[in-house]
Amino acid sequence: MSAESTIALVTDSTASLTHEDRERLDISVVNLYVILNGEQRPENEIDDYASFYKAVLDSPQLTTTSQPSIGDFMEVYGPLLDAGRDVVSLHLSGAISGTCEAARQAAAQLEADGRGGERITVVDSRTTAGGLSMCCLAAANAIASGKDAAGVVEQIEDSRNHLDTLIMVDTLEYLRKGGRIGGAQAWIGGALKIKPMITLQETVTPVEKVRTVGRAMQRLRDFASEKATSGEEVTWTVQHIQAPELAAELASHCREVFQCEGAFLDEMSTVLGCHAGPGLVAIGTVPTDVVGSKF
């Protein structure tokens, strides 16, 4: 995408975007924070995920997370506005994080300061991780095609409305501890005996209970196969948290049934990992004509 576009796209670090993705799609990123053993670190400073999760397990304290500050957003927005660009700022679900609200407060402050904050449009993606990346792809494609901010938001919303996800979590315990359990609260009693299948529709929504990892993975493969028979070209993503072999197995199946490469294949952010826990595997799909292009 041209760096000279009049609209700048901003997201947050829970979007599953590699450095190359960010460069290619011209996306600025505001970091969330992980608080481990009393030390707050921005997500972009954590690159050894295996060591990080070992430290989380070894820590006597509950590892927590924090949304970006208003100042964090202003630091990203300021130069973009000063360059004469409008901003579409797209973030993880407001039902599970205050990130969108911090973004709105930053925009209001910049407007009050006469720095152009009225040119910032904050969008709640109502999702995160691979789903948020898909919405970012839709936004980047809309910007590249010359749409104005309202048109970009419309394409984001259309993509989000067509997004379908299925997620296997190894245990609900992490979601329970972090207070992000949503509608799956009723499953807690038997959580140690099941592999919960959930989705994210603004908040965590239970889908079904499966007894083993093998059956859960088969359910994810079946999900992909069903989507592949829809007759539509599909853009897909596979995500994981400390489960690369399972994710690779699912991605291989997706390549076979969709006859194309996935758009975003990566490990989820550490902020999400703190709340969902290791062992998660997820798939997400959106019709390609809604997103605008696969990559």
The confidence score (pLDDT) of residue 205 equals: 74
Q: Is residue 1 part of a domain?
A: no
Last residue of a domain, one of 119, 136, 161: 161
Whether residue 233 sits in one domain with residue 115:
no
Q: How far is CA 64 from CA 25, 56, 59, 76, 111, in A?
A: 30, 10, 11, 24, 32
Residue 107's pLDDT is what?
98
Instruction: Report residue 43 as tokens.
Output: 């997500």
Residue at 208 is within a domain: yes
CA–CA separation, 291 and 243 (whole Å): 27
Alpha-carbon distance 14 to 169, whole Å? Answer: 17
Q: What is the pLDDT of residues 59-76, one digit of tens each?
A: 888 889 999 999 999 999
Number of separate domains in the chain: 2
pLDDT tens profile 102-143: 999 999 999 999 999 999 999 999 999 999 999 999 999 999
Tell whether 14 and 108 lie within a shared domain: yes
The Cα 121–Cα 144 span in angstroms is 17
**Of residues 290 and 56, which shows the higher confidence score?**
290
144 with 97, same domain: the answer is: yes
Regarding whether 243 and 130 lie in a shared domain, the answer is no
Residue 14 CB-half CA count within 13 A: 31
2 domain residue, yes or no: no
- Whether the per-residue pLDDT at 2 is higher than 50: the answer is no
Is the overall model pTM greater than 0.95, yes or no? no
Q: Are residues 136 and 74 in the same domain?
A: yes
Domain boundary among 102, 128, 161: 161
Query: Where would I find the beta strands (DSSP E) of 5-135?
Result: 7-12, 27-30, 33-36, 39-42, 64-66, 86-91, 120-124
Residue finishing a domain among 118, 133, 161: 161
Position 186 pLDDT exceeds 50: no
12-56: pLDDT as tens digits:
999 999 999 999 999 999 999 999 999 999 999 998 998 998 888
Q: Which amino acid appears at position 236 of this protein?
A: W
Task: Answer yes or no: do 108 and 42 share one domain.
Answer: yes
Residue 89 clears pLDDT 90, i.e. is over it? yes
CATH number at residue 100: 3.40.50.10170
Radius of gyration of the chain (CA): 19
Give the CATH number, domain containing residue 210: 3.30.1180.10
Domain with 113, as residue range(s), is 7-161
Predicted pLDDT of residue 176? 64
